[in-house]
Amino acid sequence: MAAGRVSSLLSCSLSSSMANPSFASQLQTLGRKTKTWRNINRFNTAAQVDELITPPVEIRYTKHLINGQFVEAASGKTFPTYDPRTGEVIAHVSEGDEEDINRAVSAARKAFDEGPWPKMTAYERSRILLQIADLVEKHSDELAALETWNNGKLYEQAAKIELPIFVRLLRYYAGWADKIHRLTVPADGNYHVQTLHEPIGVAGQIIPWNFPLLLFSWKVGPALACGNTLVVKTAEQTPLTGLFAAQLFHEAGLPPGVLNVVSGFGPVAGSALASHMDVDKIAFTGSTETGKIIYQLAAKSNLKPVTLELGGKSPFIVCEDADVDKAVELAHFAQFFNQGQCCCARSRTYVHERIYDEFLEKAKATALKRVVGDPFKKGVEKGPQIDSKQLEKILGHIRSGIECNATLECGGERIGKKGFFLQPTVFSNVQDDMLIAKDEIFGPVQTILKFKDTEEVIRRANKTRYGLAAGVFTKNLDTANTLMRGLRAGTVWINCFNVFDAAIPFGGYKMSGVGREKGIYSLHNYLQVKAVVTPLNDPAWL
């Protein structure tokens, strides 16, 4: 979601013809209509927020990692990083600027031009990547605890879902390292033609805050397997786990200068990395608005290739033949996973008109039962949002939905005054032209829309600037085939969601990005293809 859009968050789409009473007056009307409105919005979970578990991990690394050594920022500056459960500072981290990026790029360039990594046999690189995976797996509990502390995501999610995926992805790309084959190409005339696949060079990678470790592995794994050297800029909200993981990479045998990590802010450190003349490729995951800036900086500098994994407003289509209970459960998971802070969250839930009312009541009941609290506690299903800025953006969207006459079925309020906890929120009677149906909210807000037939829902689902993912829930194979081909999205999940295997490519259509991550497709981002042509004199055969 774009920054600096406070005014637009407080209004509906200009095309809306509805009369829009003020936020306060609608709340008063709701209060008069039913005495249970406040009860609908109250969750019996606020008390859990006040009883926080002390994270079982020590913060060890807060400086930049450049050329195999932890070093302070060139300026000596630091910035605070916070615990989303309390809003309190948990560490001060070195603040990177242009000079720090220059130092990191210089180390990566030397490691690429002179160092052993790109010159190693592919088998040797594979062996080191496997050792890294083993060491990360050994420290998974610490990394998961640190991820939860700095990000607010559920500890069970970090430990049992995300860290195993991290390890699996490293092993997957370790397996690819010695299987990047070249081609012998038939050509007219007496020529031997072959292609070489060479590492692209120094790759700059900018990691988001919502999945700091997971997306670190998505970018670092394939780039290293191809023989590149890297400069990684961590998100300013969540710098701690990237530094810890990078240290483990070096303990496992990665040569100095191959992986450099700089912490800092996007407009300074991120901009310096994207515009650096000695960076050969840039990869970014984040908002579409920032992705445009990255693209411009890359083009204006040395025209480096760019891969972007950006925003989304993914549709989740529940057909009339669906098992409503299963569809409700899956749609709930698809939206509220990771506090709704997921680029492929299914924030537009299209439900067939014949089952709409039943689906809505069950979706609301499911949201009301979702347990909010300390993400370190067992049984908690939702932790805090990342920070106060994101919390206020989400609340702004909720106000917009109410002002546009969407029906607030439940949630919509902050929980407590400490930390950044928000009630799971469900809107019904949502129209396509409302801001909550168009903008990426990036929070725990489910919008439920009604549709009549397949042709209509394909048209409406595709009427968006995004195209990252989509979901379809149906028992009919013909309907599934029609929808999977009709929806313009990089991933279409049929009767499932958030399946992120290492081999499955991920990326978007339209303004959801450029290129693909994971699988064989990600290797293409980090390789140059060179054609080599040699004349053949009097060949025995061609």
- List the 184-185 sheet strands across, edge first: 184-185, 191-199, 527-535
Q: How many residues does the chain have?
A: 542
Q: What H or E segment, with its residue span, contains residue 401?
A: helix 388-403
* 278 burial level (CB within 10 Å; 0-12, 13-18, 19+): middle
> Which residue type, as a one-letter code, is found at position 34?
T
CA gap 254, 277 in Å, rounded = 25
Residue 146's φ and ψ, nearest 5 degrees, are -65, -40
Q: Give the three-state DSSP class for 34.
A: coil
The catalytically annotated residue of 142, 147, 236, 309 is 309
* 485 burial level (CB within 10 Å; 0-12, 13-18, 19+): exposed
Q: In terms of DSSP bridges, do strands 491-494 and 513-514 run parallel, antiparallel, or are they unpaired?
A: unpaired
Q: In terms of DSSP bridges, do strands 78-83 and 421-422 run parallel, antiparallel, or are they unpaired?
A: unpaired
Nearest C-alpha neighbor of 461 from the set 478, 477, 473, 449: 449
Q: Among this protein's residues, is 309 annotated catalytic?
A: yes
Structure tokens at 142: 């610490």
> Which residue type, as a one-letter code, is found at position 205?
Q
Let me know: does 155 contact 148? Beta carbons within 8 Å.
yes
Nearest C-alpha neighbor of 317 from the set 472, 530, 445: 472
Let me know: does 162 contact 144? Beta carbons within 8 Å.
yes
Q: In terms of DSSP bridges, do strands 69-71 and 64-66 run parallel, antiparallel, or are they unpaired?
A: antiparallel
Structure tokens at 432: 């396509």
CA gap 217, 163 in Å, rounded = 10
Structure tokens at 79: 């910035």
Q: Which residues are catalytic?
A: 309
